[in-house]
């Protein structure tokens, strides 16, 4: 395997790659800059990662109960990296607007829905979909006949990457001009499409929210765990594909739909995984597992929890310098 890795790029390795402490992963699911070692981006990533050895310790927003193997490997003295201190999960406890305002009206809409009946759909602050993928997602949601709350963002400009809008202000776009003709009318009794800001934390903790179709960004991942909401993994860029592998194959709290062509996930596949999560047996298993992690996330930050202990170790180490 080592000889094979020297002969080809990670994205082309025909076997799954074993990263210490992690579940095996296909090369195509690695962090994008690591897939091709000939690029300047790859060289830059390696350059900055080598700088980590200059530190005395690394705080990570994670916790033992979800990444025990990786944390153990990083602290196993196999490399010259400084000790890693998992002190998470650290998330916001309220929305961006601390006054509890609900500008989009989505919380009021959730109040009128049944317990655990709504699928929350959001791709974070910077993730965008192509026009073709938006269409397939919309029609898949409609075909599933499930309740949904969708934070809508304008499609990816032609020729641009999925992260083209990352951390950039986006103008509000009228969904009716982008989504399939008649979609909003046909789903007005089952879904709500929001093109303005929405309070993700309050949505995830709301009793009507029963699932989350997510880009698998780490903040959204931790927020889902803390609030016990099972996932449909829909990664777009950065480390999100690696997170998706962990969520589905290791933690087993997510379903990941399969693309059919050119990386596009079709409406039939979306319909299938949405129905499975919201009303199928697999969805029940994922929900049960996520509830276990929710309890673990609470206990790890308690006085005798693993994250509290890790933080205390870091403080003790600082005092000895």
How is 63-99 classified by DSSP, letter by letter?
A: -HHHHHHHHHHHTTTSSSPPPEEE------SS-SSTT
Residue 98 pLDDT > 60, yes or no? no
* CA 171 – CA 241 distance, rounded (Å): 27
* CA 259 – CA 190 distance, rounded (Å): 26
The pLDDT-based confidence of 96 (bands split at 50, 70, 90) is very low
Residue pLDDT, tens place only, 243-252: 999 999 999 9
Q: Could you tell me whether strands 118-122 and 209-214 are parallel, antiparallel, or unpaired per DSSP bridges?
A: parallel
Residue pLDDT, tens place only, 17-58: 999 999 999 999 998 888 888 888 889 988 988 888 889 999
pLDDT value, residue 2: 53
Residue pLDDT, tens place only, 149-189: 999 988 866 545 555 444 443 556 788 889 999 999 999 99
For residue 314, which of 58, 64, 131 has the smallest C-alpha distance? 58
Question: Global pTM?
Answer: 0.90
Any idea of the CA torsion for 221, 122, 119, 282, to the nearest 10 degrees? -40
As a whole number, the mean pLDDT across the chain is: 89
**Position with higher pLDDT, 281 vs 94:** 281
pLDDT value, residue 71: 96
The pLDDT-based confidence of 198 (bands split at 50, 70, 90) is confident
pLDDT value, residue 10: 83
């Amino acid at each position: 395997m080592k000889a094979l890795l020297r002969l080809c790029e990670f994205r082309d390795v025909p076997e799954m790659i074993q990263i210490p402490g992690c579940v095996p992963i296909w090369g195509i699911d690695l962090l994008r800059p690591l897939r091709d070692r000939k690029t300047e981006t790859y060289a830059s990533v390696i350059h900055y990662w080598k700088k980590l050895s200059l530190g005395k310790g690394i705080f990570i927003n994670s916790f033992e109960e979800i990444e025990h193997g990786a944390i153990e490997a990083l602290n196993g003295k196999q490399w010259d990296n400084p000790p890693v201190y998992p002190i998470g999960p650290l998330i916001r406890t309220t929305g961006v607007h601390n006054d509890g305002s609900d500008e989009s009206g989505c919380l009021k809409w959730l109040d009128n829905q049944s317990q655990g009946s709504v699928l929350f759909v959001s791709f974070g602050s910077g993730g965008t979909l192509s026009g073709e993928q938006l269409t397939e997602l919309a029609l898949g949601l409609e075909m599933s006949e499930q309740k949904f709350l969708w934070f809508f963002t304008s499609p990816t400009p032609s020729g641009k990457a999925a992260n083209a809008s990352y951390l950039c202000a986006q103008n509000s776009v009228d969904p009716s001009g982008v989504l399939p003709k008649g979609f909003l009318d046909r789903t007005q009794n089952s879904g709500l499409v929001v093109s303005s800001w929405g309070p993700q934390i309050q949505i995830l903790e709301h009793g009507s929210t029963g699932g989350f179709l997510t880009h698998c960004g780490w903040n959204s991942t931790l927020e889902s765990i803390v609030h016990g909401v099972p996932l449909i993994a829909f990664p777009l860029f950065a480390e999100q594909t690696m997170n998706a592998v962990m969520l589905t194959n290791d933690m087993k709290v997510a379903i990941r739909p399969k693309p059919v062509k050119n990386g596009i996930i079709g409406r039939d596949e979306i319909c299938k995984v949405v129905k499975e999560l919201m009303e199928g047996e697999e969805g029940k298993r994922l929900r049960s597992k996520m509830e276990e992690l929710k309890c673990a996330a609470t206990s790890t930050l308690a006085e005798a929890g693993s994250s509290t202990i890790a933080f205390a170790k870091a403080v003790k180490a600082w005092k000895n310098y």
